[in-house]
Amino acid sequence: MIYLDYKDKRPIYEQVLDRFSDLIVKGVLAESEKMPSVRSLAMELSINPNTIQRAYQELERSGYIHSISGKGSFVSPKSEFIASKQAEVSAKLDAVMKEALDVGISTEYIHNILNKYHEEVKND
């Protein structure tokens, strides 16, 4: 479920963070589902528990999960974070699209990329 890429320049805690936020956004981890414990996940990935701890902290700060003392961490309901995530991605999309047109990438080309994914989504 979680894996590390040691060639990735990003810090490990950030990789873990991104991976979980991805799994949650895509619904792979359902609402209220229990997250793996800090210790067990650290063991599984052979890394320092502090690193997992930090990832979980940031996930909680962003509203993806909430932790209950003595019980563990749990996936939060989607509505709590999905809006902010959409706003963030939307802004990024806007910027990148502007950049693409600036460097001479045609709108047709962009439409093609979009349609490619559109088909995939329909077929899911």
Partner DNA sequence: GTGGTCTAGACCACC
Partner DNA sequence: GTGGTCTAGACCACG
Residue 50 lies near DNA (rule: CB under 7 A) = yes
Among 19, 25, 62, 67, the residue binding DNA under the rule CB under 7 A is 67
Question: Which candidate, 99, 100, 120, places its Cα nearest to that of 108?
Answer: 100
**Torsions phi, psi for 42 (to 5 deg):** -60, -45
Least Å distance, CB 19 to DNA, is: 13
Task: In whole angstroms, give the CA distance from residue 43 to residue 49.
Answer: 8
Least Å distance, CB 88 to DNA, is: 18
Nearer to DNA, 39 or 118 (CB): 39
